[in-house]
Amino acid sequence: VTIYVQLQLYKKKSFSVVSQGKLFGPTVGDEATWTLEDRKLIRIVLMKSNREAGNCWRSLLEGEYAADAWVQDQMQRKLTLERFQRENPGFDFSGAEISGNFHGGGPDFSSLQK
């Protein structure tokens, strides 16, 4: 099941909107969870429907709270390493670092695997 969420968070007493917007992309409905921690922190965990390395969200909400360039770079590196691990299960990438062209999911080697 893929769901599209319109997120709205309100303050308890004033009901003023804290944050609202459309998620950057679809999520898996059965995998969504949220917890209330210390009666003041809401932790929301969503699983993206498309978890490919080339689908790195720039922010949680469209047009809001975009990650800075360094954080975006680190997320793309991590997703690309995860992709390499899935494609090469016999290799250990635990200590690997990636450099070069990893943006957009890194190089596409599918044409070489004939």
Place of tokens 């898996």: 28
- Dump strand ranges (E) for the chain: 2-3, 6-10, 17-22, 27-28, 33-37, 41-45
Question: What is the domain-level CATH number for residue 51?
Answer: 2.60.40
Global pTM? 0.60
Give the structural domain span for 39.
2-105
Any domain includes 88: yes
Q: How far apart are CA 70 and CA 94, in angstroms?
A: 21
Structure confidence by residue, pLDDT tens digits, 35-51: 888 887 888 888 888 87
Q: Is there a contact between 50 and 56 (Cβ–Cβ < 8 Å)?
A: no
Q: Alpha helix locations (H) across the chain?
A: 69-87
Domain tally, the chain: 1
Structure confidence by residue, pLDDT tens digits, 6-30: 666 666 777 777 677 788 888 887 8
Any domain includes 112: no
Flag whether pLDDT at 90 surpasses 70.
yes
Q: What percent of the chain has pLDDT over 90?
A: 0
Query: What pLDDT score was predicted for residue 62?
Result: 82
Any domain includes 110: no
